Structure formats: C-alpha cells, structure tokens
C-alpha cells in the first residue's frame, strides 16, 4: 500500500498518564471503555494528537459532527484535562458531548438491524447540526450496545472520512525544473511536468498494487501465479483496499489458502490463496476445549475441511486455512463471548487466560509474511482489555483496563476504568478479567 496518506504517524505522541474519568450519559459504557482502550494505543494516540494539533487546518475537509472531528475534539479535551483522576475537583469528560452525532447514528443503525454498516449509512445521510453540548444524542430510550461493533463502526468511519478528505485535497504542485529541456518528458509526459501516479497516491485514495501479472479484476483486485516451497505453483488473489492512517495502524492481511483433491481420480488441484484485510480478528471461544487465548488463536488458524466442494463439477475433498500475510501495528482480538440460536443470545462465561506478551506462532504466518523477521516470532504487548460484565449483551456493563508506561523509565502501571471511576490495579488482577476485546501493540524490538 504505497499511498502517502496510508503511512502511520512516525513520531509517537507523549503518554497521557493516568486515564481521565468519563461520564456515562445513559448506557454509554460501551463507548467509554472503547475510547479508553484506543487512547492506550500509542500509534493511534499519535494520530489523534496530530489531528488535534492541526484541527483548524483540517476541519473544513471533514463533515461537521462526524467521527474525525469528534475524535480530534475529544482527544484535545483529554490532553488538556488534569491527570489526577482521584482528586475531587477533576472535571469528568462526557464523550457523548463530542460523539453526539456518531453515537446517534450508530444506535439508530443497530436498532434497524443494520449494525455498524447501517450506522455508517445513517451518519452519511444525517444532516443534523453538530453537537451542541446538551448530550441529547440518544435516538429514543438508551440501551446497551456491543463495544466491538462500536469500535468497528468508529474506526471504519474515521477511515472513510480521512480518505474523503484526502481526495478533496488539492494535488501537490509539480516541481519546476529549468535545468533540463527533457524535464517535461521525464516527469510523466504531461505538459506541466506533473506525475499522475504520484498525485493519485498523495490523494490518499490509492488502492493496493496488484501482483505481478495481475488479472485486472473489476473490483480492483489482482490475481497471479506464485511459486512457493518445493516449487509448488498456486493462484493468489489480493483484494484491493484503500489505505489511510487508520488502516496503517490497525489493519493486517489474512491469506486464506484452499487446497483440494478430486475424489474420483485423486487429481490435486492448484491451491488458491485469497488475501484480504482485517482490522480485528474475531475468535470463536464457545468450544469447551478453548481455555486460553493461545487455544483460540490455534483454532482460528487451524486447517478446516470444506463441505460440498467441487472441481469442474466433480466432488472433491478440500480444506481451508487462514494465515497471517501482514502484521498490524496494533492487533485487536475480539473474543466472541456471545452465541445466538433460536432461543436468543447466550454468553460464554468461563475465563480465558491471556498474557501481557503475545508471541505470534510461526505456524500462524504465511510464507513471506510482511513485517515478520525470519525465524523470529513477532511479539505484541498488551495495552488494553475491554471486559463485559453480566450474562446478557443488552443488560451488561463494560469496563476497561489500560496499561500506562512510565514516562521516566520507571515501572509501568495498570488502571481500571469504570466510567468516571478510575483506579490503579495490579497486572495480576487484569489477567483475571472476563476479556471481550484485547488490544496488543507491536513490540518495538520485534
């Protein structure tokens, strides 16, 4: 992904210190916990810091009351608020004031069974004025929402708004070259010496380059033949994705490899690989054998049989296995605690163990995984844990534990954030949470 708008911020923002208390404005713990977790992610905090610093410059490019300006204003308020969370005179921030319109759109979308996608459509069509600070954002009586769905909605919408702003930005002015009569021809053949490819990338809407010999599919994806271990040939197809600073932080790539053999004559088909992006890995944990995060990851990346698979109309035995093709800077893991059947939703209540350091197993990586060192297991450090309390999705409560590194090289600390109650806790307490969403940040030396 070569677009300039897709690069993650290179200079990390300073640590915010003790998390700020956040007011629950009526079942908004799902949003409060998610925001605390996002602020614990260094690369995302750096992005918000840059957006807040240049808000006056960027504001005209973003929709009024949209997610981008909401995040920018919220971060600015957090950075300016006192850090002493236990002091009685500390002002409690009210996220619903900053995210009034996005929260209203999200909740309306989920009630219409559109989920996060429905909320995005409503937000795009909403012509309501920007938040007034009154907090009257709820579309009808407030109900509890899914923290993971809100996370996906907020990041997807921020991604789209950043892309749209980049598309509207004027293209960079070509450099004037006077020392060579061939300057115009060498710079793309345009009369003004411009470089169309560079202008497209700097516009932020560039799509991922197709592979060598790309097939030029209508959806912008590329398909080509690749040679793997033992000179085995396979067909690889990559889904085209537009890049943004949000994608540069949270997005990785998964390669879904399908292998098949015809049942009748045993002929082996050429394997196929489909590479697609992700911003959150959704891990099934309902099986009793899954007792830890490592178990859930092993199950996710395990090879699975495909039923009713056919090759040119003939029955075949086939399997599918997902593997990591590219690693994100921040790895978000959603433990799917809620299952659904004809009787409604049910929650997986058992504890799943997880550690402060996550080492990605080499068996979970595809050949040539981007960002992985040869013969070394990529390592991630836990920075936030969103936990769900209660037995039902609609009637529970969300809290968040965040890791705060020491600014002076001392001992880092964990804080438990329960809306406007923030307190220091032990790491051992955090490891006992009934985790729902885990946020891991790529280790600097990994």
Q: Which residues contact 128 (CB under 8 A, 6 or more apart)?
A: 65, 101, 104
| pLDDT score for 392 | 77
pTM: predicted TM-score of the whole model, two decimal places: 0.78
**pLDDT (0 to 100) of residue 440:** 98
CB 431 within 8 A of CB 33: no
Q: How far apart are CA 24 and CA 96, in angstroms?
A: 8
pLDDT of residue 208: 33
Tell me which long-range contacts 395-399 makes (C-beta under 8 A, separation of at least 24).
395/144, 396/144, 397/29, 397/144, 398/29, 398/30, 398/32, 398/33, 398/34, 398/147, 398/436, 399/29, 399/33
Asked if 236 and 273 count as a contact pair (C-beta separation under 8 A), the reply is: yes
Joined together, the tokens standing for residue 73 give: 């204003």
Q: What residues contact residue 16 under an 8 Å CB cut-off, 6+ apart?
A: 39, 45, 78, 79, 83, 404
Three state DSSP letters for the chain: CCCHHHCCCCCCCCCCCCCCCECCCCCCHHHHHHHHHHHCCHHHHHHHHHHHHCHHHHHHHCCCCCHHHHHHHHHHHHHHCCCCCCCCCCCCECHHHHCHHHHHHHHHHHHCCCHHHHHHHHHHHCCCCCCCCCCCCCCCCCCCCCHHHHHHHHHHHHHHHHHHHHHHCCCCCCCCCCCCCCHHHHCCCCCCCCCHHHHHHHCCCCECCCCCCCCCCCCCCEEEEEECHHHCEEEEEECCCECCHHHHHHCEEEEEEEEEEECCCCCECCCEEEEEEECCEEEECCCCCCCEHHHHHHHHCCCEEEEEEEECCEEEEEEEEEEEEECCCEEEEEEECEEEECCEEEECCCCCECCCEEECCHHHEEEEEECCCCCCCCEEEEEEEEEEECCCCCCCEEEEEEEECCCCCCCCEEEEEECCEEEEECHHHHCCCCEEEEEEEECCCC
As a whole number of angstroms, the distance between CA 307 and CA 131 comes to: 51
pLDDT along the chain (446 residues), means of 10: 37 69 92 97 94 83 92 92 56 89 87 50 44 41 79 96 85 55 38 32 32 33 46 61 91 91 70 90 95 97 85 79 95 93 82 96 88 82 96 84 80 92 96 97 87
- Report strand pairing: 338-341 vs 272-278: unpaired
Phi/psi-derived region of residue 193, left when phi > 0, alpha when psi is between -120 and 50, beta in every other case? left
Question: What pairs with residue 363 in β-bridges?
Answer: none
């Amino acid at each position: 992904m070569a677009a300039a708008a897709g690069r993650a911020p290179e200079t990390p923002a300073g640590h915010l210190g003790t998390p700020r208390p956040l007011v629950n404005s009526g079942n908004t713990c799902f949003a409060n916990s998610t925001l605390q977790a996002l602020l614990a992610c260094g690369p995302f905090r750096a992005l918000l810091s840059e957006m807040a610093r240049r808000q006056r410059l960027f504001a005209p490019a973003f929709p009024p009351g949209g997610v981008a300006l909401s995040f920018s204003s919220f971060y600015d308020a957090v950075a300016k608020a006192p850090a002493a969370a236990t002091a009685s005179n500390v002002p409690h921030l009210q996220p619903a004031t900053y995210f009034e319109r996005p929260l209203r759109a999200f909740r309306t979308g989920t009630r219409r069974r559109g989920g996060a996608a429905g909320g995005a459509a409503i937000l795009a069509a909403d012509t309501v004025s920007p938040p007034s600070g009154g907090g009257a954002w709820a579309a009808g009586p407030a109900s509890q929402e899914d923290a993971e769905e809100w996370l996906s909605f907020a990041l997807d919408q921020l991604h789209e708004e950043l892309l749209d702003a980049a598309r509207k930005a004027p293209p960079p002015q070509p450099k004037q070259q006077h020392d060579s009569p061939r300057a115009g021809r060498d710079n793309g053949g345009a009369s003004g010496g411009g470089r169309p490819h560079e202008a497209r990338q700097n516009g932020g809407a560039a799509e991922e380059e197709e592979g060598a010999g790309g097939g030029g599919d209508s959806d912008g994806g590329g398909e080509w033949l690749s040679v793997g271990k033992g000179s085995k040939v396979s067909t690889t197809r990559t889904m085209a994705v537009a890049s943004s600073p949000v994608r540069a932080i949270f997005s990785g790539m998964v390669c879904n490899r399908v292998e098949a053999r015809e049942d009748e004559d045993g002929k082996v088909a050429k394997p196929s690989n489909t590479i697609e992006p992700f911003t959150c890995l959704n891990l099934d944990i309902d099986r009793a054998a899954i007792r830890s995060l490592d178990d859930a990851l092993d199950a996710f990346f395990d090879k699975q049989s495909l039923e009713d698979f056919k090759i040119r109309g003939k029955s075949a035995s086939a399997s599918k296995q997902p593997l990591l093709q590219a690693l994100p800077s921040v790895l978000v893991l959603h433990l799917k605690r809620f299952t659904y059947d004809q009787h409604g939703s049910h929650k997986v209540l058992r504890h799943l163990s997880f550690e402060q350091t996550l080492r990605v197993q080499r068996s979970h990586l595809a050949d040539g995984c981007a960002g992985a060192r040869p013969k070394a297991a990529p390592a991630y450090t836990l920075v936030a844990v969103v936990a769900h309390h209660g037995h039902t999705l609609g009637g529970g409560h969300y809290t968040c534990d965040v890791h705060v590194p020491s600014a002076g090289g001392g001992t880092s600390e964990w804080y438990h954030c329960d809306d406007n109650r923030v307190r220091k806790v032990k790491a051992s307490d955090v490891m006992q949470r009934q985790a729902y969403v885990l946020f891991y940040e790529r280790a600097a030396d990994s």
